[in-house]
Structure 1
Amino acid sequence: MAVVVIVLLAVAAIYSAATNQNFHWDLVTTYFLDVLVVQGVGWTLLLTVLAMVLAIVLALLLAIMRQSDNWIFRWVSWAWVWFFRGTPVYTQLLFWGSIGVLYPKIAMGVPFGPELFSFNYEDFSHGFWPAVIGLGLNESAYLAEIFRAGLKSVDNGQMEAAEALGMRKSKIMLRIILPQAMRVIVPPTGNETIGMLKTTSLVLAVPFTYDLTFVTNAIANRIYFPIPLLVVAALWYLIITSVLMVGQFYIERYFGKGVDNLVPAPVMATKATAAAHANADTTGDLPDGEEGKQA
């Protein structure tokens, strides 16, 4: 009954919003496919993908280092996670946006010799790469703990058995450990990816002013109608999140083969056995296979 009431309230709320003229749905439809908004969606997706790729690569290295026998690797991994989890992502983005003040030019060369490589901070494409680096480094600390949990979920006996067969540790990790750990890693990583999608709204701190949130806010400030543009941004985020959730479902199903198969509980079988015994009590006959058990 409570579920029915909740559903009815949700339907009533949706109907009320859809018929409320104060939402200015005409502006929502006008700006939903606006060129600047669509470009903002593209930049947001690009930021999310590149930052997550950087974070996944670093997190895998950090998780392996945390499991290493070398205490230096373990402490470096722990310090990385401690620092990037312990400081706000907005503060980190501000730092990467201001790093040009500290290092206007980065160069590499031979002492007292020619300069081999150099670049100016201004060459960073309008704050895009600092935003990717800031988001990726911050996310790597969280993913490192997720990856470590996934690696620890695989029984140590499998690594010992593979080593006994003469396999290299790198091959063991790629062919045996990681495929099994992925079913533990994928769900929270998908959750972090969706979180990263919405964290891109903070890249104004770099500053990077082409993402979806900044663009919709800029349009809202220009036309003095904030609510319709908030709805536009929310709809786009909802669509992208839905697509990511579908992709996560198929990835989980792929790595969960043979493990996450849904097997119905033997409730019906128990009922059938009880019914057969009840029938046997009345007729004197036992079902096939039960005579031996009774004997």
Structure 2
Amino acid sequence: MGNLLLQMLAGTVTSLKIFALTLLFSLPLGLLVAKGRMSKNPIISNMVNIYIMIMRGTPLILQLLFVYFAPYYIFGASYDRFTAVIVGFVINYAAYFAEIYRGGIQSIPIGQYEASLVLGFSKTHTFTHVVAPQVVKRIIPAMGNEVITLVKDTALAQTIGVAELFRVAQNASARQFSTMPIFIAGVFYFLMNALVSRSFDLLEKKLNYYH
């Protein structure tokens, strides 16, 4: 049992790495994608919209397979599985985060931009000091849902052979002819999501400055 828990913990560390790196890169990328989606240039806006539609309209598992195998078949080059997982997760979640950002930004009344202009604020100052704080407050619930989904989606990394938590549990279950490893993995996922959920609840209360 002790050896099993050590293996599960090692798989959990891999899952947490996928989780952390995905957030690290997809959150800022999502903001850039949102800006492109809202661009007044129709070419940029349409191209970004197509990217978002593809990412949201096809399964993440299919995207992971494409990211890992396509470079080999197209360019004759390949890279390690973990990198492929991170690339696949980042481009997928950036599309979802972009739409959340866009919804938050466009929910701010145009009058606030006009008032800032009258007061002599620059566009940068207006966004960082007037718009952004309100946007962050409004998108917290939606962002929380996506981050919780990300915790569970890390299990898809085993599709291309990355030994994350779920794959370790599956292998252990097959060796021991027992469902106990799967149950333990479920507990681990639940605890991780409980922590994420609690963190977002605290963040939402901390940002409750308009009530």
Work out the CA distance in 1 between the residues paired with 2:5 and 2:121: 56
Paired position in structure 1 for 2:25: 54
For 1:224, which of 177, 192, 196 is the aligned residue?
177
Contact 2:26 2:91 in 1 (8 A): yes
Report whether the alignment pairs 1:238 with 2:190. yes
Paired position in structure 1 for 2:94: 140
Work out the CA distance in 2 between the residues paired with 1:173 and 1:46: 32
Structure with the larger RCO, 1 or 2 (CA within 8 Å, 6+ apart): 2
1:257 alignment partner, SS class = coil
Task: Show CA shifts across 1:198-226 (max 9, x none).
Answer: 11111122332x2100001111111111x
Task: Show CA shifts across 1:88-116 (max 9, x none).
Answer: 111100011113412344xxxxxxxxxxx
Paired position in structure 2 for 1:130: 84
After TM superposition, the score normalised by the length of structure 2 is 0.92
Q: 1:74, CA displacement in angstroms?
A: 1.8
Paired position in structure 1 for 2:203: 251
For 1:165, which of 102, 119, 133 is the aligned residue?
119
Query: What is the one-letter code of the residue matched to 1:212?
Result: L
Query: What is the one-letter code of the residue matched to 1:176?
Result: V
Query: What is the one-letter code of the residue matched to 2:198?
Result: V
Q: Give matches, 1:6-25, under 5 Å.
A: none
For 2:11, which of 37, 40, 43 is the aligned residue?
40
For 2:146, which of 192, 208, 211 is the aligned residue?
192
Structure 2 CA distance for partners of 1:31 and 1:228, relative to 1, 3 Å: farther
Q: 1:36, CA displacement in angstroms?
A: 1.3
Task: Show CA shifts across 1:207-248 (max 9, x none).
Answer: 32x2100001111111111x2111100110111111111110
Work out the CA distance in 2 between the residues paired with 1:138 and 1:31: 36
Instruction: State the Cα RMSD in Å.
Output: 1.8
Q: 1:174, CA displacement in angstroms?
A: 1.9
Paired position in structure 2 for 1:103: 75
Percent identity for Structure 1 against Structure 2: 26
Structure 2 CA distance for partners of 1:188 and 1:170, relative to 1, 3 Å: same
Contact 1:98 1:206 in 2 (8 A): no
2:46 alignment partner, SS class = helix
For 1:149, which of 103, 107, 110 is the aligned residue?
103
Work out the CA distance in 1 between the residues paired with 2:95 and 2:3: 35
Rg larger for: 1
Paired position in structure 2 for 1:181: 135
Query: What is the one-letter code of the residue matched to 2:75?
Result: Y
Q: 1:193, CA displacement in angstroms?
A: 0.6
For 1:79, which of 43, 50, 53 is the aligned residue?
50
Contact 1:50 1:132 in 2 (8 A): yes
After TM superposition, the score normalised by the length of structure 1 is 0.67
Structure 2 CA distance for partners of 1:77 and 1:163, relative to 1, 3 Å: farther
Work out the CA distance in 1 between the residues paired with 2:63 and 2:30: 18
Work out the CA distance in 2 between the residues paired with 1:189 and 1:103: 36
Q: How many residue pairs get matched?
A: 210
Contact 1:97 1:205 in 2 (8 A): no
Deviant stretches of 4+, over 4 Å: none
Paired position in structure 2 for 1:89: 60
Q: Which runs of 5+ in 2 are unaligned?
A: none
Structure 2 CA distance for partners of 1:32 and 1:165, relative to 1, 3 Å: farther
